[in-house]
Amino acid sequence: MPDRGATRPEFWKEALAPSEACLTLEDLVRLSNRSISREAVARAHVAACARCQTELALLREYQSATTLPDESAAVSWITAELERRFDQIKQIKVIARLPVSRSTARERSTGWRRLLLPRPIRAAAFASAALLAAIVVGLNLRGSQAPELASDLVPGPQVFRSEELVAVGPTGDLKEVPAELRWQAIAAAARYRVKVMEVDRAELWQTESIRTSVILPAPVRARIVPGKTLLWQVTAIDSASKPVADSQILRFRVAIGSSSNKD
């Protein structure tokens, strides 16, 4: 094994990847319900495959109606929250993900100028933005009340150490689309990388700055629709281009019924 070894996670990741013989999710469901054809063959494979055993265990865990005593209050709260958010679920459209900007602060303006060039794809992007703006207006007219949003992802009080990178805002429920992202400086940072994400951590936008704030460009602001939770985080980069600190991840959401982006 020339360049891999047992202490490298990649080695095990590769070894644990699904093989051609591994059962599909549908087959695992059928196996679980004892309705699979060639059941003996399937069972023999699962008995020898840690991956299929794990997938089957996850499936059974999901299918099981058992809620543990210490999670029942949270599950009830989330369920009620989902019922309240049904209006958002059925109205929020796909937020088109912007191409991730890898540019430095100095190069950023060039990057955005490029984005504004009158190419067909840009026209389509702006058409999408216009559509989203129309949805925003529609949502505003509804005037429904979204539940209050907790401001960050860590339950309980946030404790900051002296050299910890602290993201300041925006955070929590907002009355209007934020104009900028702000954080506190740390001594070790030569620059900061900022990213805005969806709740599954899929990146919507990224940029870098030598300052302690960045202005959200209009195309990004146009994608911030009422009711949709977004996350953001800043990473400090030192002079050797090495990440030295991550801020906490902050969440924010523009409340439904509040003023929207008019850019």
Partner 1 sequence: MKLERLSDEELVIRARAAAGSAAGLQLVDELFRRHYAQVARWCFRFSGDRESAADLAQEVFTKVYRSLGSFHGHSKFSTWLYSIARNECLNAVRARAVGPGDSGGEMLIGLPEQDGGGFWAAAERVSCAELVRELLNEALEDVEKKVFTLHFGEDLPLEAITRLLGLRNASGAKAFIVSARRKLSRSIQRWKAREQRAVGARER
For residue 232, list its beta bridge partners. Answer: 196, 250
CA atoms within 13 Å, Cβ hemisphere of 110: 6
Position 29 contacts partner 1 (CB under 8 A)? yes
- Please name which of 227, 195, 222 lies closest in space to residue 101, comparing C-alpha atoms: 195
- 62 or 120, CB closer to partner 1? 62
| Helix, strand and coil in the chain, % to nearest 5 | 40, 15, 45
Position 153 contacts partner 1 (CB under 8 A)? yes
- 40 or 83, CB closer to partner 1? 83
CB 173: neighbour CB atoms within 10 A?
19
Find the binding residues for partner 1 in span 62-121 (CB under 8 A).
62-63, 65, 67-68, 71, 74-75, 77-79, 81-83, 85-86, 88-90, 92-94
Position 221 contacts partner 1 (CB under 8 A)? no
Among 112, 126, 182, 198, binds partner 1 (CB under 8 A): 198
Contact (CB, 8 A) for 112 and 205: no
**Piece of the chain touching partner 1 by CB under 8 A; list 6-14, 97-105, 115-123, 210-218:** 6-14
- Please name which of 125, 121, 83, 251 lies closest in space to residue 178, comparing C-alpha atoms: 251
# residues near partner 1 by CB under 8 A: 67
H-type alpha helices, the chain: 9-15, 25-32, 39-48, 50-63, 72-84, 86-91, 105-115, 120-142, 218-221
Rule CB under 8 A: which residues touch partner 1? 1-2, 4-9, 12-17, 19, 25-26, 29, 48-51, 53-54, 57-59, 61-63, 65, 67-68, 71, 74-75, 77-79, 81-83, 85-86, 88-90, 92-94, 149-150, 153-155, 197-202, 229, 243-244, 246, 249, 251
